[in-house]
Structures are given as structure tokens and as C-alpha cells.
Amino acid sequence: MNHPENQPEISHSSYRTAQERSAAVERRIAEDPASVRMLTGDRPTGALHIGHYFGTLRNRVRLQESGVETWVIVADYQVITDRDVIGDIRGSVRELLTDYLAVGIDPERTTIFTHSAVPALNQLLLPFLSLVTQPELERNPTVKSELAAAGKSAMGGLMLTYPVHQAADILFCHGQVVPVGKDQLPHIEQTRVIARRFNERYNHGEVYFREPDALLSEAPTILGLDGDKMSKSRGNSVMLSMTADETAKRIRKAKTDSDRVITFDPEGRPEIANLLTITSLCIGRSPEAIAEEIEDRGAGTLKVMCAEALNEHLAPIRARRAELEKAPDHLFEVLRAGNARANEEADRTLARVREIMGMVY
Ligand code: TRP
């Protein structure tokens, strides 16, 4: 869910292959959802905005509702890949949990857990590291662009190896389907390589870890209200936690242009197109149809429409959010239950891995 500043270079051919596999996964889910185990996750760096919501959260809830078994990792060790200060990690985790439950992630059906509370998951990193080489790690385009975005000259050890750790996130629970954005494809590819090599080198070529597939989101990318990447720290975002008034105010100040005729032109008029996209995602009509309806009534009309649509769509989520905020203990109980489930699974997998490797004493 983290879209680096400098978009990583993902080759067209590997993107196309991933798209094909992703489409095949969608078909499998439609046929037999209960047979699919999905894992995805986020770095806990604070509350979420509508870019996260329309980009991934909504899709997760859809998959959960379809009967897919869902696992969500709160990747707390990944927070310290690109920064020197850990900050209020507990607060960030609480915000993330609040957003998850508010949008409809249901802890009865979805296991929510954190890296740091699942030791056996982390231990898988050691055998997995034996399966990758330094040049391979250094080539990862997403890691490179994140390093550049962090403004650091030297690569930290965790930064270099976190894609291997992410492979452990996915493989410890035998996650088959990983809903992610395009920037995460190198990590999924790395995970596939690790699964393959583990089977080859340690398990006589027999499959223990299956290679997971990315499930690419079809949702259009939401930009910030100034046309840049949406980000909490730039003040160009609409947070799920905002009030309706704050939302309307933010949207009123959104960057637009002076052409009174509203058209859907993502290339030529990205800011107008963005407001149309947000409105469209809320009311389920095409951005073109909305543009046609507004016609020459200008950006002001579009903004009013967008703010109303968004506030109406988010109202139930925000109401749940407010309730959840009153009961932080409940949120951490949910997390502890998820951690317990994840530990059972991770202990089982690690025991099997040690057996496969002959490390049983
Ligand atoms: N790297 C992901 C991101 O920045 C978060 C993440 C951690 C993740 N572990 C994962 C995503 C496992 C999918 C699967 O968005």
C-alpha cells in the first residue's frame, strides 16, 4: 500500500504475466472461494486515507465477503526499513486497526496480526536468506526507489532484506493469493523464487511451499487533491477519520483548472479526472457520465458533488470508526486473538521446515 515517490521500474513483460496470473486467480476465487487463502498487509505508519480505501481496503472486504480465507499482516518490522525513528508504533497500529474494522474487515473471518508478535514467522527469514543472493536483493526496483525516496545514501540491512521477510509473511501461512499494487510485484516474484528454491534445495524438489500469485487491483489510482501522490503528510489527502466538514473543506480547496466544461481527461486534466473518479467510485456511475451531467457548470459544481458523494459513502464507516475509537482495548484484544492464530500457524510451518531441513534434535 505504499507507493514510493519514484515509481519502481517494473518491466512490461513481467507486469503482463502478473496480470494474466491475476485474472486466473480471480476466476479461481469466483469458482471456489473457500479454497483460496489470501494474505496481504500494510506498514503501520498511521491512519489511512481514501486512496488506501478505494485502492485496496474495499477489495479486501469484497474478498472476505466472497468467502476467501483472509489474513492481514500489520508489518511493524517493515516500518523501520526506511527511517531511523520508530515513532509511536502502538498508536499507528491502533489507527490501522480502527480503519480496518471500520471499513468492514471482520476479525471473525480475517486473521489480523503483527510481525513482532509471531517469532516463528521471523525465524523463517534465516533459511530464506540462504536462498537469495546479494545482487538479486540489490536489483529489487521497489527497494531501490524506496531508498531514493527516503533520501538515504547507504542501504540498511533490513531495507535490503525486507522482501525476503515479506516472503516469510506470505509463506508462513501458505498464502496463495496476495492482493497488492504494482509496486509490490518484485516482492511477490522474490517470494515465488524463494518457494521454488526451498523446494529444490531442501525438499528434494518436492513442493512444500507453493508459489503465490499477486492479485492486482483494478481500482484506478486516486491522486492527492493537488494532483500529486496522496499522502497524509502533504495535506492533500482525505482521511477516513476526517469529519464531513473537514472533507468538504479539503475538496473545496482541491486544485482544478479554469475550463468550465467538465470532461474526463486523465492525461490532460488529471485533477478534474481525479475528482470525477472519486465521485464515480462512490456513486457507481462512470466518470464520463458524471462529467457530461455537470457539463459547463464548472469545477465548483463538481467539488460539491464529489464532497457530497464521498461523505455519504463514508458516513457509515466514520460512524463505526467513532465507536471503535471509544474502545481501544477491544482493538488490541482483536489483535491478540489474531496473533495467537498466526503463532499456531507459524509454529506449525517452522516445525515442518526444520524437519525438512533435518534440524530436529
Ligand atoms: N510491503 C507492503 C507495503 O508496503 C506491506 C506488506 C508487508 C505486505 N508484508 C506483506 C503486503 C505481505 C503483502 C503481503 O504495502
Helix-strand-coil percent breakdown of the chain, rounded to 5?
60, 10, 30
Return the SS3 of 315: helix
State whether the beta carbon of 142 lies less than 6 angstroms from ligand 1: no
CB 13 within 8 A of CB 46: no
Ligand 1 site-directed mutation target among 7, 22, 40, 177, most atoms within 8 Å of CB: 40
**pTM (predicted TM-score):** 0.94
Q: Which atom of ligand 1 is nearest to the CA of 169?
A: 12
Judge if the beta carbon of residue 73 lies within 6 A of ligand 1.
yes
Torsion angle defined by CA atoms of residues 328, 332, 333 and 334, in that order, rounded to the nearest 10 degrees: 100
Tell me, using a 6 A CB cutoff, whether residue 137 lines ligand 1.
Answer: no
Structure confidence at residue 8 (pLDDT): 79
Instruction: Give residue 6's pLDDT.
Output: 56
For 12-219+328-356, CATH number? 3.40.50.620
Q: Cα(73) to centroid of ligand 1, in Å?
A: 8
Distance CA 22, CA 14 (A): 12
78 lines ligand 1 (CB under 6 A): yes
Low-confidence ranges of the chain (pLDDT < 50): 1-5
Q: What is the DSSP string of 43-94?
A: ---S--BHHHIIIIIHHHHHHHHTT-EEEEEE-GGGGGGS-S---SHHHHHH
The residue among 185, 187, 205 whose CA lies nearest residue 196 is 205
Domain boundaries, the chain: 12-219+328-356, 232-325
**Separation of 38 CA from ligand 1 center, angstroms?**
12
Atom of ligand 1 at shortest distance to CA of 179? 13
Q: What is the DSSP string of 168-236?
A: HHHHTTT--EEEE-GGGHHHHHHHHHHHHHHHHHHSTT--SSPPPEEEE--SPPPBPTTSSB--GGGT-
- Tell me, in angstroms, the distance from the centre of ligand 1 to residue 138's CA: 18
Mutate to test the pocket of ligand 1, among 187, 188, 215 (most ligand atoms within 8 A of CB): 187
Class of domain 232-325: mainly alpha
